Amino acid sequence: MSSSPNLPHPDRSEISLTSVLFALSDPERLAIARQLVDGPLDMAECHLSNPDVPKSTKSHLMKVLRTSGVVRNEANGRGRRLSLRREDLDARFPGLLDAVLSAADGNAKP
Amino acid sequence: MSSSPNLPHPDRSEISLTSVLFALSDPERLAIARQLVDGPLDMAECHLSNPDVPKSTKSHLMKVLRTSGVVRNEANGRGRRLSLRREDLDARFPGLLDAVLSAADGNAKP
């Protein structure tokens, strides 16, 4: 787990539609976003569907979610706290997050 | 332009959320989808924002849109006809296409 206290996040106005779509286009990243629907979680509480994913891969998934503006990732004691940037995303792209999160997975062809 | 008369398309039930999000996560592919909002177009009428994109790249962009289920690509005389699979996408992922297509581009950070 990174110990950088303040990781960079895009401002609301900088959040790009295509970057958000890309961040949510990976099944593991989408699953992480869905875990945050009911509120923030510590990074250690976020589980990947594939438990064999290396820590470095998990870090990279988290970085894509953060730099796209989907997730806020803040220092919280010794760990990190993840939260969905719902208010920012709803303001930028009305209806998008709800449509994605409420959609059936439908990964017949991943 | 490919002369294959019948290219494969996923059935409605096979369309995957993450594949659709991925297809729309590229600015050029998203721009093509937006050009089809008002109705089908011949492939020759679909313009990329970067006119220097090689024909092979355009073909690949079209292939991603087709295999993800976003666009139908059918033989039409000597050319090909592209249409947005709006009915299929709306049935699979209610609200998603409208949210994406109505969103401001917001590609401050592509």
Kindly tell me if the per-residue pLDDT of A106 is higher than 70.
no
DSSP B38: T
Pick the residue from chain A with its C-alpha nearest to B105.
A17
Instruction: Give the model's confidence band at B4: pLDDT under 50 very low, under 70 low, under 90 confident, else very high.
Output: low
Cite the DSSP H helix spans in chain B.
17-24, 27-35, 55-67, 86-92, 96-102
pLDDT of residue A4: 66
Q: Please indicate if any CB of chain A lies within 8 Å of the CB of B105.
A: yes
Sequence-separated (6 or more) residues with CB below 8 Å from residue B25: A18, A19, A21, A22, A25
Q: What's the pLDDT score for residue B50?
A: 83
Which helix (H) or strand (E) segment holds residue A18: the answer is: helix A17-24
What is the mean pLDDT of the segment spanning B83-102? 96
For the cut 90, the answer to whether the pLDDT of residue A9 exceeds it is yes
Categorize the per-residue pLDDT at A80 as very low, low, confident or very high, splitting at 50, 70 and 90. Answer: very high
Whole-number pLDDT of residue B52:
87
Summarised one tens digit per residue, pLDDT across range B40-79 is 999 888 888 888 888 899 999 999 999 999 999 999 988 8
User: Which residues in chain B have their CB less than 8 angstroms from residue A95's CB?
Assistant: 95, 98-99, 102
| Residue scoring higher pLDDT (B6 or B8) | B8
Interchain CB distance below 8 Å, B105 and A17: yes
**Out of A10, A18, A103, whose CB is closest to B93?**
A103
Q: What angle do CA A65, A66, A68 make, to 5 degrees?
A: 70
Does residue A61 register a pLDDT over 50? Answer: yes
Mean pLDDT (whole number) for A1-6: 62
Residue A12: list chain B partners with CB under 8 A.
none
Chain B environment of A110 (Cβ under 8 Å): 16, 18-19
* Cβ–Cβ gap B107/A18 under 8 Å: yes
Q: Do B109 and A27 touch (CB under 8 A)?
A: no
A86 or A51, greater pLDDT? A86
B25 CA to chain A: closest CA distance, Å?
Answer: 4
* pLDDT at residue B32 is higher than 80: yes
The pLDDT of residue A107 is above 50: no
Report the pLDDT averaged over residues A6-23: 96
> Residue B94: which pLDDT band, with cuts at 50, 70 and 90?
very high
| A3 inside 8 A of chain B by CB | no
Chain B, nearest residue to A28 by Cα: B18
Average pLDDT over chain B, rounded to whole? Answer: 90
